[in-house]
Amino acid sequence: MAQHNQSDGTVEAPKAGDRLCEHLLAAGLIDSQGLARVRSIRDSSPDGRNAAGAGLHVLLTRLGIVSERDMAQALSTVLGLPLARPADYADQPLLNDGISTKFLRKSGVLPLADAPDALSLAMIDPLDDFTLQAIRLAVGKPVQPVVAVPTEMEEAFQRLYGSGKTEIAEIVGEGGDSLALDEEDTEQLKDLASGAPVVRLVSLLIAKAVEAKASDIHIEPSGARLRVRYRIDGVLHDVESPPPRLSAAVVSRIKIMAKLNIAERRLPQDGRIRLVVRGIQIDLRISVLPTMHGERVVIRILDRESMPVGLIGLGFDEGTLANLESWLALPNGIILVTGPTGSGKTTTLYASLLRMNSTERNVITVEDPIEYQLDNINQVQVKSQIDLTFANILRSILRQDPDVIMIGEIRDRETAEIAVHAALTGHLVLSTLHTNTAAGAISRLLDMGIEDYLLTSALTGVMAQRLVRRLCRDCRKPYAPSPTTLDEVGVPMALRRPDLTLYEAAGCAQCNHTGYSGRTGIVELLEITDPLRRIIVERAASQALHAAAVQGGMRSMYQHGVEKVLDGVTTIQEVARVTREV
């Protein structure tokens, strides 16, 4: 471990970079290939630093290989330095007379405490010996470095040295009259969208969404205002928005980033952006839609690091996992996952593929779009504009000797027929359907024109799912439910105890005052049994299929949700919200 010199605050770290890399490799935060690429960039200049003066650890975050928070924790461990917490930052600015705010911000440092014998200094880069020595000379006493997380330091800077305005207001104020434009002048619009204020503004909106763990950003012009909303844990929240006069500039900036046509405002456009935010590689899917008041933009945020590593992380209980894994172990058949958009269907499929991924299996997927890249799995992107459709790709896949085929979504009869044919000829097929219940998937396939006798032979099972918000563990409030409440919820008498405690949402700083933090799945698994096969052949309605499945032992999504309410994971209101249509 690199040593910290207690006498003058300097870090004796001639080999700190190598030790840091060893730590990051051991922790699985980087791989040898990524490390070699960054070392090559660093060594491209004679002094071992790139043109911008960045060291190896800085490059690792700039390139999105290691997140800023992970790097701060690694630096703390390797250098033997404390990690600054949000509560450690001072309530009032320190050293106002001795060191300029501009220098502090540019150097990425901020005083935490000024004692007579030493200065405690938060540093984004504790290996920056020049800044450390400069501040030591300026204050005339030892400086004790503390590793800072960049986002937390930025929040402290804004609180201590801000003008009282928000970051968005400051950016808009700096732009002044230069942000006024003629929306019909494409060249002026392009220049404005490429200017520093608008670039910073859009970057800030995206960065704040990533920090809030939002899945989508909605940018909506509505006449008198430009509305910005983040979808967090499945629910939209209003956030601070730029003034409406910047609507065209903000949309144009996003179009430029996605390589879309900024002059075309009459037709919908779709694109993608890949960038690094806070040291995390982010993929953005862009959808632009013309509306009465201007172009509306929705940005889907795909964070590769948030991809679950397996089925256990999805919130499934042991019984659900055992049943699903027994389906995945079969050599052939169709396994369907159903639910509305945003219910986690694709995530479940990816987790299932990771469980089955091995050298003995040839796994091929056809997706639109490919949301996450999976190692050792062959993924094919649908491109309808060149007639590379689900059906056409599937025909080719069947000649590629696959063991497992994942179809992003069954949208039409042709795709459904090929999926059934693949299952009947010895392949395991995984796919999704947009239906509300597991039984509804069977009715949908029959309506598409799949013969009932083929469906009963090919279909293994259907899993319907929803995502409910988890209660924040720091602020959830316990209460004793009344018998009437338990009757309304449908809690079985066998589970009712005199000391039964449920929880409700409260709200605190940790959960952004929503009362919830993160999401978990509730599911129902419908297995195709002989009694169900007879009902399917009789073309029974989906309600009859659902009733027969429950009678045969299937636990409904609502019942699974109630179990999570009893376990203190979520609330009655949240389960009712996501299951009310079923």
Query: 423-452 pLDDT, tens per residue?
Result: 999 999 999 999 989 999 999 999 999 999
CA 48 to the chain's CA centroid: 35
Three-state DSSP state, 374: coil
- Which SS3 state, helix, strand or coil, does residue 444 take? helix
C-alpha distances out from residue 483 to 163, 486, 490, 491, Å: 54, 5, 10, 10
| pLDDT digits 0-9 by tens, 408-424 | 999 999 999 999 999 99
Question: Residue 447 CA to chain centroid, in angstroms?
Answer: 35
Question: Taking 50 as the threshold, does the pLDDT of residue 6 lie above it?
Answer: no
Indicate the pLDDT class of residue 180, thresholds 50, 70 and 90: low
Instruction: Compute the 3-state secondary structure of the chain and give helix, strand, coil in percent, each to the nearest 5.
Output: 40, 20, 35
Q: What are phi and psi of 496, to 5 degrees?
A: -85, 125
pLDDT beyond 60 at 384:
yes
42-86 pLDDT per residue, tens:
776 554 444 444 677 888 888 778 888 889 999 999 889 999 988
Residue 218 has pLDDT above 50, yes or no: yes
Q: What is the pLDDT of residue 307?
A: 57
pLDDT band at 2 (very low <50, low <70, confident <90, very high): very low
Q: 329 or 182: which carries more pLDDT confidence?
A: 329
For residue 310, what pLDDT is reported?
A: 67
pLDDT at 280: 80
pLDDT at position 159 is: 80
Residue-level pLDDT at 32: 80
pLDDT (0 to 100) of residue 415: 93
Best CA proximity match to 442, nearest among 320, 324, 582, 540: 540
pLDDT the model gives residue 568 = 92
In this prediction, residues 291-307 reach a mean pLDDT of: 83
Ranking 78-87, 238-247, 305-314, 328-337 by mean pLDDT, the lowest is 305-314
Crossing angle of the two packed helices 68-79 and 16-26, in degrees rounded to 10: 120
Q: Does the pLDDT of residue 166 top 60, yes or no? A: yes
- Can you tell me the distance from the alpha carbon of 463 to that of 460, in angstroms, rounded to the nearest whole number? 10
pLDDT at 278: 78
Per the CB < 8 A criterion, the answer to whether 135 and 109 are in contact is yes
Which string of b and e fits 305-320 if b means at least 16 CB within 10 Å? Answer: eebbeebeebbbeeeb
Q: Please choose, from the candidates 245, 407, 257, 252, the residue with its C-alpha nearest in 3D space to the C-alpha of residue 335.
A: 407
What would the two tokens of residue 94 be? 């320190």
Give CA–CA dist 491/485, Å, rounded. Answer: 9
pLDDT band for position 365 (50/70/90)? very high
- Report the percentage of the chain scoring pLDDT > 70: 91
In this prediction, residues 358-366 reach a mean pLDDT of 92
* Residues 6 or more apart whose Cβ sits within 8 Å of residue 186: 262, 263
Q: Is the pLDDT of residue 233 over 50?
A: yes
Neighbours of 211 (CB within 10 A): 12
- Secondary structure class of 136 (helix, strand, coil): helix
pLDDT value for 3: 46
Angstrom distance (rounded) from CA 216 to CA 234:
9
* Average pLDDT score over residue span 475-485: 89
Q: What is the end-to-end Cα distance of the chain in Å, rounded?
A: 57
Burial class of residue 334 (count of CB atoms within 10 Å of its CB; 0-12, 13-18, 19+): buried
Q: What is the pLDDT of residue 45?
A: 55
- Structure confidence at residue 512 (pLDDT): 79
Is 30's pLDDT higher than 70?
yes
Measured CA to CA, the distance from residue 471 to residue 561 in angstroms comes to: 13
Instruction: Outline where DSSP puts E strands in 70-147.
Output: 109-114, 119-123, 143-147
Mean confidence (pLDDT) of the chain: 85
Whether the per-residue pLDDT at 470 is higher than 50: the answer is: yes
Beta bridge partners of 219: 228, 297
Lowest mean per-residue pLDDT among 50-59, 356-365, 499-508: 50-59
Phi and psi at residue 57, to the nearest 5°: -65, -35
pLDDT at 248 over 70: yes
pLDDT number for residue 160: 83
Residue 225 reports pLDDT greater than 60: yes
pLDDT(139) > 80: yes
Structure tokens at 463: 């899993």
Residue type, 333: G
DSSP label at residue 500: -
Between residues 13 and 426, the one the model is more confident about: 426
pLDDT for position 314: 78
107 has a pLDDT exceeding 50: yes
